[in-house]
């Protein structure tokens, strides 16, 4: 009987469980998770903060899902090290577990910049349900919050707090919000939409410290000003959890390097999800992590499948705002732009010849996913490319 050990119970780890069990009904599968809760849909954490959902509403696999598949799920327990020569993992509570196949799906952690005072009560990052629960509790004790970072998760979290009646100021080091996903024009359109919902923005702002005694009283900026608040959330990106991989001697770059089968190069060890680097890219998207975990699980069970790099679209999950973006939005490297703008509607499609390289849909997003599929398929559009800037363009034609 083969023994499989999976470190991490997020999108990649849970997907791997299903693939392994569907191919091997007699193996043992042990899953270790540092979190106390079964697999849940992490993108809905802002909904929990906003009191629009409870954990049960976005739990994807409850305990009976694991039981029905014969999975030994060990919540609240960390793996402390990996011994690839012995084929063993060492755990925090339960000792040593032998494996024939090991998946490292250790994910990533919210990045807390080295700012003076960031250890004070009332300062958070948002990555886990435990983080969300702590933020929701703290939000009930203050009327003013500062959110550092104008990325996707940061804006969704800011809107969640605003919906609770809290005054929220978003600080962004860049001169525009969502600078990785949007160009200047669409960023400004989006900012105006969010301001209309009650959010405030301070662009080009750099935090110098957190002011207060044991708990936060204000955020100090490098320009000498301060913003009084009772809650600070840093949304400054994530960092892959690489400590275990390092202990196993796998090759690291920006994250754990893997091949198209999610193999690390160390016999018996695969990796998937936010902690991996594939073809020079660290993706960090839920749908990609699921696909990588599925590929890893299949390969671990002897059914070789391959992961293909793609640029899945990202969207902003804020009620009243429709935004989908993907790919390369910098036209400096491409040959052509197709832009349609009218009021709150903005579309920008970047072409290289007649091949789509990037896209922004803000406002009605009908056609965005057809556009993204054509981009990822590197489909040559021929004369269709000429009409992409028209307001009435029929994007269903891209599916042909």
Give the tens place of pLDDT for each residue, 70-79: 999 999 999 9
For position 150, what pLDDT does the model report? 79
What letter would DSSP give residue 193? H
Average of per-residue pLDDT across 107-122: 94
pLDDT, tens digit (0-9, with 9 covering 90-100), for 191-217: 999 999 999 999 999 999 999 999 999
Contacts of 375-383 with CB under 8 Å at 24 or more apart are 375/311, 375/326, 375/327, 376/310, 376/311, 376/312, 379/355, 380/353, 380/354, 380/355, 381/354, 381/355, 381/356, 382/354
Q: Are 297 and 128 in contact (CB under 8 A)?
A: no
Res 82 pLDDT > 80: yes
Residue 400 has pLDDT above 70, yes or no: no
pLDDT at residue 278 tops 80: yes
Query: pLDDT value at position 397?
Result: 92
The neighbour count for residue 164, using CB atoms within 10 Å, is 15
Sort strands 269-271 and 101-104 into parallel, antiparallel or unpaired. Answer: parallel
Give the rounded percent of residues in the chain with a pLDDT score beyond 70.
98
Supply the pLDDT for residue 180. 86
Mean pLDDT value across the chain: 93
Most confident of 46-60, 314-328, 379-393: 46-60
The residues, ordered by sequence, that sit 6+ positions from 296 with a Cβ below 8 Å of its Cβ are 12, 16, 19, 103, 105, 261, 262, 270, 271, 272
- Ordered domains of the chain (ranges, CATH): 3-109+238-300 (3.50.50.60), 123-234 (3.50.50.60), 322-399 (3.30.390.30)
Tell me the CA distances in angstroms from 241 to 1, 146, 381, one per residue in order: 30, 27, 41
- Overall average pLDDT of the 355-361 stretch: 93
What Cα–Cα distance (Å) separates residue 264 from each residue in 78, 83, 123, 194, 290?
21, 14, 36, 43, 18
Q: What is the mean pLDDT of residues 344-360?
A: 91
What whole-number distance in Å separates Cα of residue 47 and Cα of residue 199? 17
Cα(214)–Cα(121) distance, integer angstroms: 6
Sign for the CA dihedral angle at 208, 211, 213, 214 comes to: negative
Q: Are 145 and 122 in contact (CB under 8 A)?
A: no
Q: What is the pLDDT of residue 335?
A: 63
The percent helix, strand, coil of the chain (3-state, each to 5) is: 30, 30, 40
Q: Using the 8-state DSSP alphabet, how is residue 221 labeled?
A: E
Q: Where are the beta strands (DSSP E) in 247-354?
A: 256-257, 269-271, 276-277, 314-315, 323-327, 336-342, 345-352
């Amino acid at each position: 009987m083969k023994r499989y050990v999976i470190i991490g119970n997020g999108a990649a780890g849970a997907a791997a469980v299903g693939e392994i069990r569907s191919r091997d009904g007699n193996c043992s599968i042990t899953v270790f998770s540092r979190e106390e809760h079964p697999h849940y849909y992490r993108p809905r954490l802002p909904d929990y903060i906003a009191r629009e959902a409870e954990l049960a509403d976005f739990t994807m696999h409850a305990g009976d899902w694991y039981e029905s598949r014969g999975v030994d799920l060990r919540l609240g327990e960390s793996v402390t090290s990996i011994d690839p020569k012995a084929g063993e993992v060492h755990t925090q509570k339960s000792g040593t577990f032998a494996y024939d196949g090991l998946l490292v799906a250790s994910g990533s952690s919210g990045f807390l910049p080295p700012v003076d005072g960031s250890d004070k009560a009332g300062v958070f990052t948002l990555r886990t349900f435990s983080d969300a629960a702590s933020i929701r509790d703290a939000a009930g004790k203050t009327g003013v919050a500062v959110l550092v970072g104008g990325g996707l998760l940061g804006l969704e979290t800011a809107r969640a707090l605003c919906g609770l009646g809290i005054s929220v100021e978003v600080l962004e080091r860049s001169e525009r919000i969502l600078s990785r996903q949007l160009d200047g024009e669409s960023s400004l359109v989006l900012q105006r939409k969010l301001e209309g919902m009650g959010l405030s923005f301070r662009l080009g702002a750099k935090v110098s410290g957190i002011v207060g005694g044991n708990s936060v009283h204000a955020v100090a900026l490098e320009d000498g000003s301060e913003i009084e608040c009772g809650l600070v959330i840093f949304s400054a990106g994530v960092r892959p959890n690489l400590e275990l991989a390092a202990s196993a001697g796998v090759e690291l770059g920006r994250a754990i390097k893997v091949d198209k089968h999610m193999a690390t190069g160390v016999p018996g060890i695969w990796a998937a999800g936010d902690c991996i680097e594939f073809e020079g890219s660290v993706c960090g998207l839920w749908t990609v992590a699921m696909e990588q975990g599925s590929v890893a699980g299949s390969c671990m069970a002897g059914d070789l499948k391959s992961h293909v790099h793609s640029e899945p679209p990202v969207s902003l999950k804020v009620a009243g705002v429709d935004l989908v973006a993907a790919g390369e939005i910098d036209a400096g490297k491409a040959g052509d732009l197709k832009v349609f703008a009218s009021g709150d509607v903005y579309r920008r499609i970047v072409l290289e010849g007649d091949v789509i390289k990037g896209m922004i849909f803000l406002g009605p997003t009908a056609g965005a996913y057809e556009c993204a599929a054509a981009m990822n398929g590197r489909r040559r559009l021929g004369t269709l490319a000429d009409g992409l800037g028209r307001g009435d363009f029929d994007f269903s034609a891209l599916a042909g």
